[in-house]
């Protein structure tokens, strides 16, 4: 790229919503918000920043916020909203809640991301702190689904899938002390009932492979 090539930038709007008392503390220190106006019981100020994309804009605006206010008008996540005028924020398999691109979202962008995620993310309403603010959204912690054991090493999931548990790494102990922990894996079977599962285990020789790893009992003697 030539040194004379101009970097294309676009406008992004930062909105600050400051509580009444915090605003007058700024006035007392002879500090002013850009074009602040009273809306209900808050002062609202807006400022336009130019950046190449929203990720860069968020970084720039947050730096500006800390340089000018240093947390004096409240935690940044409770005060600041940055718009998404070009709809750059979308949910995808690689979506990161902590990515600056996806932070300080307004109501419209929040609603869009949550809808696109299909319930995988929700609005982050945790309190956080001044120096450790929460993100705009957080991932939903789903309850762990346990398999139901129906035979030796055979289990079935809540969706009806059959699994056979095999030992990948055997447990090794020395004089009663474990020096190598056992590592197991549930191998999914194509079978849809218990009898077919047993036949599949025999056909794939899963049982024999597992016996080789686990027998005889692994111990280290002095």
Q: 0.85 cut: is pTM over it?
A: no
Using an 8 Å Cβ cutoff, are 189 and 162 in contact?
yes
pLDDT in tens, 19-29: 877 777 776 55
Q: Which long-range contacts (CB under 8 A, 24 or more apart) does 101-104 make?
A: 101/53, 101/54, 101/55, 101/58, 102/135, 102/136, 102/137, 103/58, 103/135, 103/136, 104/58, 104/61, 104/62, 104/76, 104/77, 104/80, 104/136
Checking DSSP bridges between strand 121-123 and strand 137-139, what pairing results, if any?
A: antiparallel
User: Residue 220 has what pLDDT?
Assistant: 40
User: Residue 219 has what pLDDT?
Assistant: 42
Domain segments of the chain as ranges: 10-139, 148-214
Q: Is pLDDT larger for residue 207 or for residue 45?
A: 45
Nearest C-alpha neighbor of 160 from the set 140, 145, 139: 145
Q: Is the pLDDT of residue 55 over 60?
A: yes
User: Residue 222 has what pLDDT?
Assistant: 34
User: Residue 58 has what pLDDT?
Assistant: 97
Q: Is the pLDDT of residue 65 over 60?
A: yes
Rounded mean pLDDT, 218-222: 40
Burial of 113 (0-12, 13-18, 19+ CB in 10 A): buried
């Amino acid at each position: 790229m030539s040194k004379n090539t101009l970097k294309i930038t676009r406008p992004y709007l930062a909105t600050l919503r400051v509580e009444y008392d915090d605003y007058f503390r700024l006035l007392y220190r002879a500090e002013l918000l850009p074009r602040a106006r009273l809306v209900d019981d808050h002062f609202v100020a807006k400022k336009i920043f130019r950046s190449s994309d929203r990720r860069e804009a968020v970084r720039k605006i947050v730096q500006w916020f800390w340089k000018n206010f240093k947390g004096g008008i409240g935690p940044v996540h409770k005060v600041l909203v940055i718009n998404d005028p070009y709809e750059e924020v979308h949910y995808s398999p690689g979506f990161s809640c902590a990515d600056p691109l996806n932070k300080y979202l307004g109501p419209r962008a929040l609603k869009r991301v949550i809808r696109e995620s299909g319930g995988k993310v929700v609005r982050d309403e945790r309190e956080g702190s001044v120096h450790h603010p929460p993100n705009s959204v957080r991932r939903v912690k789903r309850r762990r689904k346990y398999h139901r054991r129906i035979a030796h090493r055979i289990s079935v999931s809540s969706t009806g899938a059959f699994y056979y548990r095999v030992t990948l790494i055997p447990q090794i102990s020395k004089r009663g002390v474990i020096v190598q922990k056992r590592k197991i894996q549930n191998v999914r079977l194509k079978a849809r009932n218990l009898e077919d599962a047993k036949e599949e285990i025999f056909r794939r020789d899963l049982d024999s492979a597992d016996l080789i790893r686990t027998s005889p009992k692994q111990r280290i003697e002095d």
